[in-house]
C-alpha cells in the first residue's frame, strides 16, 4: 500500500474535453492525475468532460478494463449529469423580456441520436443540405427535454445562439448565450461554493476554463506541448493556436504548469517571468524494488512510440544498423502503431534487419518490457515530456535519447542514468547502445542509477509537488493583479552624439483587481536578433508613475540596437511584468526593422 500524501483542503476537478474511444497522452495524463490523487491521497478528483457521447456507460467500462479508471474515480459528463439531475426544485429563470430564437419550419430535416438503451438522447434539426444546424433537444429517459440549444442565422449568416436548461415540466431554469457559458456555469456548480481547483488539460477546455471568475475557484492550465506552433524555435516561432489564449491571457490563471524546467525557461526567455509559472512533471509508474539485473536480456532494446513522422523511427533503424556491425545479436522490440508501419517494415527489409528489429504493434502492457531490456531508444523530433523515458528509468532501463525539446535533458544525466545525444546523431547514439550491450559493468551501473533517478517522478513525489503548488497559488491569490486595456506607446526616441540611444515608453492599463499595479510592475526592453541568437533585456528608469500609467526611459548604446551586419536586424519589445502579469508588445523605435507578424 503506497504512503499517503496529504493534499491541501480543496475540491479538485480534472478538466478535459472527452475520454471516448482512443485518446492521446494529454487525456491519459489527466486520468492518471485523478487516479493518483485517489490512490495516493484518498482525494476525490472527478474528471469533467464536455463531449457529445450518447452512451457513456460503454466508455466507462472500457476505461475500467484498461486500468485508466479505478474504484472511487468518477467521470462526469455535462450532458449526462443534467440528464440525470433533478431540476424541478430550481427557481425559474427571470423573464428578461427578450424573444426566444426561432427556427425555420420547412426545408429542414431531423436526426435522432439514441443512448445505449435505445432511448432518445438528442434530437438535431438541420437544413436539408446539412450546412446549418438550427436546434438540439436533449432528452431524459422519461422523454422530457432537459436542454435545448437554438441557433438563429441573420441575413449576414452570423449565428445567434441560446441554450435553455429545463425542468421536466418544461420550465426554463437558466438561459445561456453560448455553450461556453453553460460549461462555466456547470463547472462552478460542481464546487458547491467550496474552495476548488480546476486543472485544464485539453486545448478546448482552457479556452473557457480561464474565463471563470468565481472567487473561490483556482484555475490551472497544463502546457503539455510547446507554446510555439509545430514545435518551432521558442523565441521566434509563431504561437501555437491551441495555447495562444493561455499565453496571451496568462494573468487569468492561478497556475500555468510546464512539464519541464527547460520549457518554462524558454517561455520566460520570451515573455518574462511571473509568479504563476510552475513546473510539474507528469508522474510515471516505478518498480517498488530494483528489478534484478539477471532478468535483462543481453543486447535487447525496447522502443515505445507511435509509428509516425514526429517519432522518427527511421533514425532508430539506422542506429541498430550501425550497432549490429559490432553487436550482431542486437535486438530492438518496437511497440506501437501508426500510419508509417508499412514504410518502416520496408526499410527494415531493405537493410536486412528482420532478425534485429521486430514491430509488435500496440500492447497494453508494453511498458513492462523495460524491465527485461538493456536499453531503450527515443529518437523523436520533438516532445512535450516523453513519458517513455520516465517509464524506462522506473524499470531500471537506461535510455539513449536525442536531446530534443522537451524532456530528455530534464530526465537524463548524460552518462549516469542514460545517454543524451544531439538530435539525429545516429552514430553517437549507436556507440552508446553498443557500449551498453558490450559492457556488463556499465549496463549494471547505469541500470541502478536509472531506477534511483526515477524516484523523482514517482506518483507520490509528483503529487507532493502538486500540493505545494496549490498551496503557493492560494497564498498568492489575494495579491493577484487583474489588468485590462494594456498598451504601450513610444513617447520619444533619440540618439545622441555620444552613441547612446534613448527610448521613452509609456505603459497604460485599467486595473480591475489587486494592489496598486503602479507599485508592482517593472518595464524592460527586450532586444531579439530576428534570425538567431538569445535575447537581451535592458532595465529602464521610471520617469513617471501614476495609477494606470508608467513611463520608463531606456538608455543603451545605439550599436546594441543596430547590428553591424544588415542581415541580422533586431526586433524590439517592451516587457511589462509583476506578480502574475506578463505583457509583451513589439515596438518600432526607429532603430529596428519591424515585422508585425507574431
Angle between helical axes of 440-453 and 387-394 (0-180°, round to 10): 110
- Alpha-carbon gap, residue 319 to 331, rounded angstroms: 11
Task: At 254, list the grid cell.
Answer: 492561478
Average pLDDT by consecutive 10-residue portion of the chain (598 residues)? Answer: 83 95 80 96 97 91 89 96 95 73 88 96 95 96 97 89 96 96 98 98 94 97 90 88 89 97 95 97 94 95 96 98 97 96 98 98 91 98 91 98 94 97 96 98 98 96 98 96 96 86 95 96 94 91 97 89 70 96 88 35
Cβ atoms within 10 Å of 453's Cβ, excluding its own: 19
Q: Which of 264, 277, 274, 272 is nearest to 539 (CA)?
A: 272
Task: At 255, list the grid cell.
Answer: 497556475
Phi-psi region of 299 (alpha: psi -120 to 50; beta: other; left: phi over 0): left
Domain at 293-457, CATH from 3.40.1160.10, 3.40.50.2000, 1.10.10.10, 3.10.20.440: 3.40.50.2000
- Alpha-carbon gap, residue 542 to 549, rounded angstroms: 11
SS3 per-residue string spanning 342-402: HHHHHHHHHCCCCCCEEECCCCCCHHHHHHHCCEEEECCCCCCCCHHHHHHHHCCCCEEEE
Burial of residue 306, with CB atoms counted within 10 A of its CB: 0-12 exposed, 13-18 middle, 19 or more buried: middle
- Alpha-carbon gap, residue 162 to 96, rounded angstroms: 13
361 Cβ contact partners less than 8 Å away, ≥ 6 residues apart: 335, 336, 337
Burial of residue 241, with CB atoms counted within 10 A of its CB: 0-12 exposed, 13-18 middle, 19 or more buried: exposed
Predicted local distance difference test score (pLDDT) of residue 585: 95
- Alpha-carbon gap, residue 53 to 454, rounded angstroms: 38
Q: Check if the beta carbon of residue 124 is closer than 8 Å to that of residue 148.
A: no
403 Cβ contact partners less than 8 Å away, ≥ 6 residues apart: 409, 420, 421, 422, 423
- Alpha-carbon gap, residue 187 to 16, rounded angstroms: 12
CATH code assigned to 481-587: 2.60.40.2440
Cβ atoms within 10 Å of 55's Cβ, excluding its own: 15
Cα dihedral 330→335→341→344 (10° resolution): -20
Predicted local distance difference test score (pLDDT) of residue 242: 78
Q: How many alpha carbons fall within 13 Å on the CB side of residue 31?
A: 23
Task: For cell 472527478, name the residue.
Answer: 46
Q: Which CATH class is domain 11-83+183-279?
A: alpha beta
Residue spans of beta strands (DSSP E) within 404-444 = 419-421
- Alpha-carbon gap, residue 370 to 362, rounded angstroms: 15
Strand pairing class (375-378; 300-304): parallel
Q: How many alpha carbons fall within 13 Å on the CB side of residue 89?
A: 2
169 Cβ contact partners less than 8 Å away, ≥ 6 residues apart: 88, 144
Predicted local distance difference test score (pLDDT) of residue 512: 96
Q: How far is CA 376 from the centre of its chain?
A: 25
Spans of all domains in the chain: 11-83+183-279, 108-179, 293-457, 481-587
- Alpha-carbon gap, residue 474 to 465, rounded angstroms: 14
Question: What is the reported pTM?
Answer: 0.92
- Alpha-carbon gap, residue 359 to 334, rounded angstroms: 5
Decide whether 11-83+183-279 matches 481-587 in CATH topology: no
Which residues, listed in sequence order, are joined to residue 507 by a DSSP beta bridge?
488, 550
Which residues, listed in sequence order, are joined to residue 539 by a DSSP beta bridge?
524
Q: Check if the beta carbon of residue 571 is closer than 8 Å to that of residue 584.
A: no
Q: Any idea what DSSP says for residue 98?
A: P
- Alpha-carbon gap, residue 162 to 172, rounded angstroms: 12
Task: At 141, list the grid cell.
Answer: 429517459
Q: 206 phi and psi, to 5 degrees?
A: -65, -30
- Alpha-carbon gap, residue 14 to 572, rounded angstroms: 39
Amino acid at each position: 500500500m503506497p504512503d499517503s500524501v496529504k493534499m491541501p483542503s480543496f475540491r479538485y476537478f480534472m478538466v478535459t474535453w472527452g475520454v471516448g474511444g482512443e485518446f492521446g497522452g494529454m487525456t491519459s495524463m489527466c486520468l492518471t492525475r485523478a487516479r493518483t490523487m485517489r490512490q495516493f491521497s484518498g482525494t476525490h478528483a472527478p474528471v469533467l468532460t464536455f463531449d457529445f457521447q450518447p452512451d457513456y456507460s460503454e466508455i466507462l467500462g472500457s476505461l475500467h478494463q484498461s486500468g485508466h479508471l479505478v474504484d472511487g474515480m468518477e467521470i462526469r459528463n455535462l450532458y449526462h449529469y443534467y440528464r440525470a439531475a433533478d431540476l424541478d426544485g430550481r427557481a425559474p429563470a427571470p423573464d428578461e423580456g427578450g424573444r426566444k430564437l426561432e427556427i425555420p419550419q420547412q426545408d429542414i430535416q431531423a436526426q435522432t441520436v439514441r443512448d445505449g438503451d435505445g432511448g432518445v438522447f438528442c434530437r438535431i434539426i438541420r437544413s436539408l443540405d446539412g450546412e446549418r444546424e438550427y436546434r438540439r433537444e436533449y432528452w431524459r429517459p422519461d422523454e422530457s427535454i432537459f436542454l435545448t440549444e437554438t441557433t438563429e442565422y441573420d441575413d449576414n449568416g452570423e449565428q445567434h445562439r441560446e441554450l435553455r436548461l429545463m425542468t421536466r415540466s418544461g420550465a426554463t431554469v437558466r438561459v445561456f448565450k453560448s455553450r461556453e457559458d453553460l460549461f462555466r456555469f456547470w463547472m462552478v456548480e460542481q464546487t458547491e461554493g467550496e474552495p476548488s481547483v480546476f486543472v485544464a488539460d485539453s486545448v478546448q477546455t482552457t479556452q473557457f476554463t480561464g474565463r471563470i471568475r468565481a472567487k473561490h475557484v483556482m484555475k490551472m492550465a497544463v502546457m503539455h506541448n510547446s507554446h510555439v506552433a509545430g514545435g518551432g524555435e521558442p523565441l521566434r516561432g509563431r504561437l501555437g493556436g491551441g495555447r495562444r489564449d493561455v499565453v496571451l491571457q496568462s494573468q487569468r490563471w492561478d497556475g500555468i504548469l510546464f512539464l519541464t524546467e527547460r520549457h518554462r525557461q524558454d517561455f520566460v526567455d520570451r515573455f518574462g517571468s511571473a509568479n504563476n509559472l510552475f513546473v510539474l512533471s507528469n508522474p510515471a509508474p516505478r518498480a517498488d524494488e530494483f528489478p534484478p539485473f539477471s532478468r535483462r536480456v543481453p543486447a535487447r532494446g525496447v522502443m515505445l512510440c507511435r509509428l509516425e513522422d514526429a517519432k522518427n523511427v527511421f533514425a532508430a533503424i539506422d542506429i541498430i544498423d550501425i550497432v549490429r556491425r559490432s553487436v550482431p545479436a542486437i535486438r530492438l522490440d518496437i511497440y506501437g502503431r501508426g500510419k508509417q508501419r508499412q514504410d518502416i517494415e520496408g526499410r527494415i527489409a531493405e537493410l536486412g534487419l528482420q532478425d534485429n528489429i521486430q514491430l509488435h504493434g500496440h500492447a497494453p502492457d508494453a511498458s513492462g518490457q523495460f524491465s527485461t531490456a538493456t536499453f531503450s531508444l527515443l529518437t523523436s523530433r520533438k516532445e512535450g515530456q516523453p513519458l517513455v523515458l520516465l517509464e524506462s528509468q522506473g524499470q531500471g532501463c537506461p535510455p539513449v535519447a536525442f536531446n530534443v525539446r522537451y524532456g530528455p535533458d530534464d530526465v537524463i544525466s548524460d552518462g549516469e542514468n542514460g545517454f543524451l545525444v544531439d538530435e539525429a546523431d545516429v552514430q553517437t547514439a549507436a556507440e552508446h547502445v553498443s557500449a551498453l550491450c558490450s559492457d556488463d559493468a556499465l549496463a549494471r551501473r547505469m541500470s541502478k542509477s536509472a531506477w534511483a533517478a526515477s524516484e523523482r517522478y514517482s506518483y507520490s513525489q509528483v503529487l507532493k509537488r502538486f500540493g505545494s503548488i496549490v498551496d503557493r497559488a492560494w497564498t498568492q491569490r489575494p495579491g493577484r493583479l487583474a489588468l485590462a486595456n494594456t498598451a504601450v506607446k513610444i513617447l520619444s526616441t533619440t540618439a545622441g552624439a555620444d552613441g547612446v540611444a534613448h527610448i521613452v515608453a509609456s505603459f497604460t492599463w485599467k486595473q480591475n483587481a489587486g494592489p496598486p499595479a503602479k507599485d508592482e510592475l517593472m518595464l524592460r526592453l527586450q532586444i531579439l536578433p530576428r534570425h538567431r541568437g538569445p535575447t537581451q533585456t535592458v532595465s529602464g528608469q521610471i520617469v513617471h508613475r501614476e495609477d494606470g500609467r508608467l513611463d520608463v526611459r531606456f538608455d543603451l548604446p545605439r550599436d546594441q540596437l543596430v547590428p553591424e551586419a544588415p542581415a541580422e536586424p533586431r526586433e524590439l519589445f517592451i516587457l511589462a511584468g509583476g506578480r502574475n502579469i506578463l505583457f509583451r508588445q513589439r515596438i518600432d523605435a526607429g532603430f529596428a526593422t519591424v515585422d508585425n507578424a507574431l
